[in-house]
Amino acid sequence: MNNLCVAHRGFSGKAPENTMAAFRMAMAEPYVQWMEIDTQLTADGIPVVIHDFSLDRTTSGSGKVKAHTWQQLQRLDAGSWKGRAFQGERIPSLDEVLRLSCGRVRLNIELKTSGNMYPGLEQAVLERVSRYHMEQDVVITSFDTGALQRVKEINPAFKTGLILDGRPKDLPSRLKALQCSFLSIGHPNLDTGLASLLISEGITVMAWTIDDARGMKRIAAMSPEILICTNRPDVWRKTFPG
């Protein structure tokens, strides 16, 4: 199957993003081979799966994720905002998502951090991935280059990827300096020339976030090797039948 489907925060077009409901819905589709998830740390150092630094948009809570303990986050509703059917969905721990995914789907785990916001995040995430023996099924990605460097310092065997929404001229050399073998790039920044250059350098390229057939076909025309990250795996399925 070409242009592999990556479910962005799970099947987030239909279920509340980064919840077990969204992950189960994505994994119920046999063509979803990857999921993209976001991880941060609680006040007591537990890696949890949530995108925003603040709780306000996707949960019944408010304030910063990092200001709350795991026990406090457990009490929040992370599903009702998407629909009454999802009332009672919680913010999952990274452990729960790894347990669900293990042996079934590969994960792009984004470290949601900036500077020294989350000391110990990289260590906590790598320890849990190793606990499930998923080192070969995971890529650790981030906008934050410091976080990617720390991953390589802790365990150089882990695959890492830079996330970009832009098009710097020195991209291949920048990735090489960071020891990244993966690039997660906002899809409007990608064209055939850049895609070919990156692939020839041995970089796995993922384009995000594409929810329409036209956009998916544009990326597919560049190369069958580019992963397509989408909130709508069902649209991917209709675009690439068989």
Q: Which residues are catalytic?
A: 8, 51
Rounded CA separation 5/226 (Å): 10
Rounded CA separation 242/30 (Å): 12
3-state secondary structure of 104: coil
Give start and end residues of each alpha helix (H) in the chain.
20-27, 70-74, 94-101, 121-131, 145-154, 171-178, 192-200, 213-222, 233-239
145-154 and 121-131 are packed helices; what angle lies between their axes, rounded to 10 degrees? Answer: 50
**Contact present, 68 and 55 (Cβ < 8 Å):** yes
Closest CA to 12 of 35, 31, 30: 35
Question: Does an H or E element contain 133, and which?
Answer: none
Rounded CA separation 131/30 (Å): 25
Cα–Cα distance list, 2 to 74, 103, 151 (Å): 39, 21, 29
**Contact present, 34 and 105 (Cβ < 8 Å):** yes
With tokens 């729960």, the residue in question is: 96
How far apart are the two ends of the chain, measured CA to CA in Å? Answer: 8
